[in-house]
Amino acid sequence: MAAAPGRIYLVGFMGSGKTTAGRLLAGRLGAPFVDLDLAFEAMAGRTIRETFETHGEPWFRAREAELLRGTASLPRAVVALGGGTFTFPENREFVRTHGLSIFLDVPFDVIAERLAGKTADRPLFPSEESARELWETRLPSYRMADRTLDVTRDMTAAEVAGKLADLAAPPLAAPGGVS
């Protein structure tokens, strides 16, 4: 397989598998893994839910954008974006100019199953109905990613990571062509 781009940004809704598959992909590529949500919580010393409650979503989004820009200092990395990161045009532009974005397109019913009982620290998942509305609102932004991986219910994290590696590989140059 040809070398992957320097930075791969994984895009998708909460529960789409960005962190789980991203860690596996990073290990496969021998690259560092960064999860923006986990990096924020480590830096802030509090959960994203607590941050939303004390500082509000706009304050969080500004810090999230700062963390995203910090990934430019990494020559190679697999970066799991927060579910809302790619919905902001300035973040999409940053990702577009600094790496390859791949949307993990997971049906909402699969996401809801994955997150059942795990929503306590997810401030934007107060109910399944409101989460579905948010997912539908974000889909047009997610679909602006460079590439899309359709993730099915029966795919394992290892299979997703393998397909991500395939999508991240640059296409082969045509014989006699310039690459």
Cβ atoms of residues 146 and 164 within 8 Å: no
Q: Give the confidence band of 163 by pLDDT, cuts at 50, 70, 90.
A: very high
Interatomic CA distance for residues 11 and 102, integer angstroms: 6
Question: What ranges do the domains of the chain cover?
Answer: 11-168
The overall average pLDDT reported for the chain is 85
Q: What DSSP character marks residue 87?
A: G
Q: Would you give the end-to-end CA distance of the chain in angstroms?
A: 15
Question: What is the rounded average pLDDT of the residues 4-27?
Answer: 91
For the chain, how long is the longest CA-to-CA vector? Answer: 59
For 22-32, how does the pLDDT look when each residue is reduced to its tens digit (9 = 90+)?
999 999 999 99
CATH of 11-168, one of 3.40.50.300, 2.130.10.10, 3.40.50.720, 1.25.40.10: 3.40.50.300
Place of tokens 């991500």: 164
Residue-wise pLDDT for 79-104, tens only, equals 999 999 999 999 999 999 999 999 99
